[in-house]
Amino acid sequence: MEAGELLAILVGLLLLQVGGFALFGLWRRRRQGGDGVAGSQARASVAHGPSATIQPNDDDGAPPGWSGLRDFVVQRKVHESADRSICSFYLAPVDGGLLPRFRPGQFLTFTLDVPRRDRGGTEPLTRCYSLSDAPGRDAYRVSIKRAPAPPDRPELPPGRGSGHFHDRIEAGDRLAVRAPAGRFFLQQEGDTPVVLIAGGIGITPMLSMLGWLLERDDKREVRLFYGVRNGAEVAMGAQLRQWARDHGRFHLHRCFSAPAPEDRLGEDFDHAGRVDLALLRNTLPLRRQQFYLCGPPPMMESLVPGLESWGVEPEDIRYEAFGPASIQRATPAGVDAETPPPLITFSDSDRAIPWDPAAGSLLEFAEANGVEVTSGCRAGSCGGCQTRLRAGRVAYAHPPDFEPEPGHCLLCISSPQGAITLEA
């Protein structure tokens, strides 16, 4: 071979390699959220505990999830609590296709068509609801609690999404649904005993985990601490009692903070009071166990740090809050307290506010400052908080499950990388 030919081949190979690296770089940037989103930063997620990086449907040969919205029909609507505040909806795909499996603990995202509050007509509303049944059934099930006005603000309107489900959705109705998602799910391998802690409607992901753990040949010991006010609020009480009777390795602890006169200790409930650290310490054997928590923000804010202070390793504590919660807030790595905070401009609201790293995410920062933003999962999975980023860059706490449109970012998992302008 001539020296010239050899040189040409070498140069060609070099160009191929450079091109390959460039394409790989572009692909990685796109995976990390497109324009304006810097590489994912490692920092504590606000509403979610340590999460696995495995994607759903990657190990069971089941059909993968779908992208975008898919139409489902409501097969059945079932009341699940004596006070009729919780309703289950069984959902089957309208296209008759296969139902992708999911990981116990994951949720569905709904785009609802709800009546406008002040004007006529309807508008879309994004809401997330945990799958409350074990994977592998013929239909998905979600169980939804009606959200009344807060007790101290009775003049406020009740919850829109949950009210829509309870008052307007019936068997035969159609719903637009995104594929199962979420990072709060049961670790399906291993033999470490499992402790599930649920407050109120936080029972829904636990029901899915329990169904999966108890209806298969899994040897793990499982405890459920379920906190409600009284017997009228218990969801699927008969199912829980049946599981406790049928499975010696399942221990049920129903905790009533305000038992009704007809609630009998030892029959209808097992502990008077809330689920707190003292109860866990008095009840649980001293050994390694994996904790899964889901409940109202105050419960999560006390129990998650409480378990850590008791000596439970952070990787053995997984949690999900169904609303804003401030758990384990830490100043993100790389933030220098001496540097003046960058300015966050909300262009639609005509406001510019210095960033507060203690806020957690840009979503919480906007909410704390009265800027109107929408949200759903608060975990980068549903796209509910997608917002146009008009200038600057943000970083994600972890790679999102939802791919935002170019030029947009997901506020719930974003923190600013310098001054930014958001269309909000």
Element (H, E) at 179: strand 174-181
Per CB under 6 A, does 175 bind ligand FES?
Answer: no
The correct pick among 376, 394, 409, 424 for binding ligand FES (CB under 6 A) is: 376
Residue 385 or 389 with smaller CB distance to ligand FAD: 385
300, interface contact from ligand FAD, ligand FES, none, CB < 5-8 Å by kind: none
154, interface contact from ligand FES, ligand FAD, none, CB < 5-8 Å by kind: none
CB-based contacts of 164, cutoff 8 Å, min separation 6? 112, 114, 125
CB of 344 to ligand FES, least distance (A): 17
- Kindly provide the b/e burial profile for residues 54-92, where b requires at least 16 CB atoms within 10 angstroms of the residue's own CB: eebbeeeebeebeeeebebebeebeebbeeebbbbbbbb
Q: Which two tokens stand for residue 174?
A: 């159609």
147, interface contact from ligand FES, ligand FAD, none, CB < 5-8 Å by kind: ligand FAD
204, interface contact from ligand FES, ligand FAD, none, CB < 5-8 Å by kind: ligand FAD
CB of 205 to ligand FES, least distance (A): 16
Residue 17 or 55 with smaller CB distance to ligand FES: 55
Residue 91 or 201 with smaller CB distance to ligand FAD: 201
Distances (CA, A) of 270 to 224, 225, 279, 295, 395: 11, 10, 11, 19, 46
CB of 180 to ligand FAD, least distance (A): 11
Per CB under 6 A, does 181 bind ligand FES?
Answer: no
Angle at 240 between CA 236 and CA 246, to 5 degrees: 145
The structure tokens 């209806």 sit at: 215
Per DSSP, 376 falls in state: S
Residue 144 or 382 with smaller CB distance to ligand FES: 382
- Contact positions vs ligand FAD (CB under 6 A): 107, 127-130, 142-145, 147, 149-150, 156-163, 182, 201, 204, 320, 322-323, 377-378
Give the interface segment with ligand FES, choosing from 74-82, 152-160, 247-255, 383-391 (CB under 6 A). 383-391
Residue 197 or 412 with smaller CB distance to ligand FES: 412
Q: Tell whether the torsion through CA atoms of 78, 80, 86 and 88 is positive or negative.
A: negative
81, interface contact from ligand FAD, ligand FES, none, CB < 5-8 Å by kind: none
The correct pick among 179, 236, 275, 377 for binding ligand FES (CB under 6 A) is: 377
How many other CB atoms are found less than 10 A from the CB of residue 115?
13
How many other CB atoms are found less than 10 A from the CB of residue 257?
15
Query: C-alpha 380: how far from its chain's center?
Result: 9
Give the interface segment with ligand FES, choosing from 170-178, 201-209, 334-342, 374-382 (CB under 6 A). 374-382
- What would the DSSP string read from start to end of 125-154? EEEEEEB-S-TTSSSEEEEEE--PPPTT-T
Distances (CA, A) of 67 to 83, 113, 205: 37, 20, 22
Per CB under 6 A, does 49 bind ligand FES?
Answer: no
CB of 384 to ligand FES, least distance (A): 4
The correct pick among 207, 385, 395, 409 for binding ligand FES (CB under 6 A) is: 385
Residue 91 or 284 with smaller CB distance to ligand FAD: 91
Q: Tell whether the torsion through CA atoms of 286, 207, 317 and 358 is positive or negative.
A: negative
Separation CA 18–CA 35 (nearest Å)? 22
Q: Which residue is nearest to ligand FAD (CB)?
A: 159
Per CB under 6 A, does 384 bind ligand FES?
Answer: yes
324, 297 contact by CB (below 8 A)? yes
Nearest to 382 by CA among 55, 69, 40: 69
385, interface contact from ligand FES, ligand FAD, none, CB < 5-8 Å by kind: ligand FES
CB of 185 to ligand FES, least distance (A): 16
CB of 386 to ligand FES, least distance (A): 7
Taking the CA of residue 24 as centre, how many other CA atoms within 13 Å lie in the half-sphere pointing to its CB?
6
The correct pick among 375, 387, 394, 420 for binding ligand FES (CB under 6 A) is: 375
Question: Within positions 104 to 133, which residues make up the interface with ligand FES, using CB under 6 A?
Answer: none
Q: Which two tokens stand for residue 333?
A: 């790595």
Residue 143 or 387 with smaller CB distance to ligand FES: 387
How many other CB atoms are found less than 10 A from the CB of residue 104?
26
